[in-house]
Amino acid sequence: MLLGLAVLAAALASSGAHALATPNLHKRFGEPAVKHSWVEVPEGWMDDGSVPPADHTINLRIGLKQNKIDVLIEQLYEVSDPTSASYGKHLSKEQVEALVAPHPDTVALVEEWLAAHDISPAHCSRSPAGDWLSVNVPVSKAERLLDTNYRVFRRRDNGNSVVRALSYSLPRFLHDHIDVVTPTTMFGSLHEMRSTGFIQPSGFKAVTDDAEPQRLVLPGRLATLPASCGTTITPTCLRILYATDTYVPAATGTNKLGVAGYLGEFANDADLQTFFRQFRTDAVGQTLTHVQLNGGGNNQSQPGVEANLDVQYTEGISSPTPNIYYSTGGSPPFTPDSATPTNTNEPYMDWLNFILNQTTIPQTFTTSYGDDEQTVPNDFAVRVCNQFAQLGARGSSIMFSSGDSGVGAGSCRTNDGTNKVVFQPTFPAGCPFVTAVGGTTRVNPEVAVSFSQGGFSNYFARPSYQDAAVSKFLTGVGTKFQGLFNPAGRGFPDVAAQGNGFQVIRSGRVISVGGTSASSPTFAAVVSLLNDFRIASGKAPLGFLNPLLYSSLVPGFNDITSGSNPGCGTTGFTAVAGWDAVTGLGTPNFTTLKNIVAGL
């Protein structure tokens, strides 16, 4: 986007001032080298033509290189590989922190650099492992530190504003010591993250579990399924469909399920009880634990569709397993008030740092939010992905919805200046350390739902655990869509679950909701029951699932072999036998999966 002449002149003047003010610093530390930059203003945003006041305060976070992150990832795979002697021997909080702590040389160099810019290391807050430094600084000082210019950018759709930069730089020698600095070029804020759920049209009528007497017999099952489950989903549908209906959790004193919430979405306690009375009467009275962080709220007068969907279906399947809803505050619109530091931290960062700082954490997590991968700076994506690896190493299974745009939403054009049309993977679903969940619809048999997002990451290489499954799928695809996706990238989703017509209570009334944001909590609830079974049997929780999913657990999935995920002006990928980039390995059969994990 071109700047007006006056704005451009101001920007150049500001840049010149930085250059004149820092010759001694450049001589001492070397000329700055770009750490990350955008070719153009990211899609959906516009430069509003203004700059923040020089004394406007921001909370700057510096992610120091984690000295033994490669060792941590290696150990993550060892404790997650069912053929390893270390399987299930998850790491403690202290062991993880020891591996991600920065090298002393890194700490010394970064502190010297900060001190040279009159930022006292003593004034910096530090994460328990020391891999994050946080300090409040005037934007003018941040600009000199990062050789950048912060501007005010506005969302085109809702007018929300943030203070961001189109690029930032560090002395070249620090590139090996600093992974990422925020807030800088990450435009996706908690207010701009997309929930992967949506209220469905009236054609998906609301029902109760007793509204349809007709029943369908599932192959190989004695239980019968209400015929209404073909269009409207309730806990009864899912519990019978995925064979959890006869399992009674026995480790509820230890096992927990965590739901990450953003966007000012609040899970309503009264609606949860109404949901239980209508759809899971034996769970009436079970409560939900609310944890608020980073300014997150719990406004019970404003029930959120996404929040209610998530907790009603995690609890509706996993009851009486304790559930925790984490309400994470978001970035407020920018206001030029220098008296109070602006909360400009990015998605997932605050939640992840909070969870990793807890001594005891849930064994299962689900999150129903994501961004187009290309809108997330690579340095930010890699650092966040590695934080998910830390959670997995500590024994947690992490589910993310894959997205609701087939192989890509909108024009599918790249934002690197080439303006090419390519398939658009999502983040964090494309991170190899999370389990991405796609969507299905109908029953007897289930088929892929058309919006189920899937494809291949452009940031993360295909992990070895899915080599065989993905290679087979790619052989079937052949030269179709050549050039539209990265065949060497991490494939997603990994698994799938129902994603259409979920009956949700909001403000005391039933609405119908769809999206892979329904699929992720559903699959997470099944995983939570598997963790319950493991813990009750004296075994470790499953932890990072993917190496196990693509090996021992394959027989425990209902293979989805029809349907596709159109997008980007194409027909998209097609569900086939085995893994596919629409429904992954398929949907879970709890009974079979339970029998498999019993022997691990």
Q: Which residues are annotated as a binding site for Ca(2+)?
A: 559-560, 578, 580
Is 212 tagged catalytic? no
Q: Beta partners for 397?
A: 364
Asked if omega into 493 is within 30° of 0 (cis), the reply is: yes
Amino acid at 482: Q
Q: Measured on CA atoms in the order 167, 164, 296, 119, is the torsion positive or negative?
A: positive
Distance CA 337, CA 339 (A): 6
Q: Which of 143, 192, 310, 379 is catalytic?
A: 310
Q: Starting at the edge strand that comes first in sequence, how are the strands of the sheet with 194-195 ordered?
A: 194-195, 369-372, 426-427
DSSP β-ladder status, 435-441 and 495-498: parallel
Cβ-contact 259, 400 below 8 angstroms: no
Cβ-contact 352, 326 below 8 angstroms: no
Q: Which of 368, 512, 517, 528 is catalytic?
A: 517
Is 416 tagged catalytic? no
Longest Cα–Cα distance in the chain: 81
The DSSP result for 85-131, as a single string, is TTTT-PPPHHHHHHHHSPPHHHHHHHHHHHHHTT--GGG-EE-TTS-
Beta-carbon neighbour count of residue 46 at 10 Å?
12
Q: Which of 265, 306, 350, 379 is catalytic?
A: 306
What are the structure tokens assigned to 454, written together? Answer: 């899937």
C-alpha of 547 from chain center? 19
Q: At what angle do helices 516-536 and 590-598 cross, to 10 degrees?
A: 40
- Three-state DSSP class for residue 524: helix
- Three-state DSSP class for residue 308: helix
Distance CA 214, CA 290 (A): 39
For the chain, the 3-state helix, strand and coil shares in percent, each to the nearest 5, are 30, 25, 45
Is 310 tagged catalytic? yes
Q: Measured on CA atoms in the order 40, 42, 47, 53, is the torsion positive or negative?
A: negative
Q: So which residues are the catalytic ones?
A: 306, 310, 517
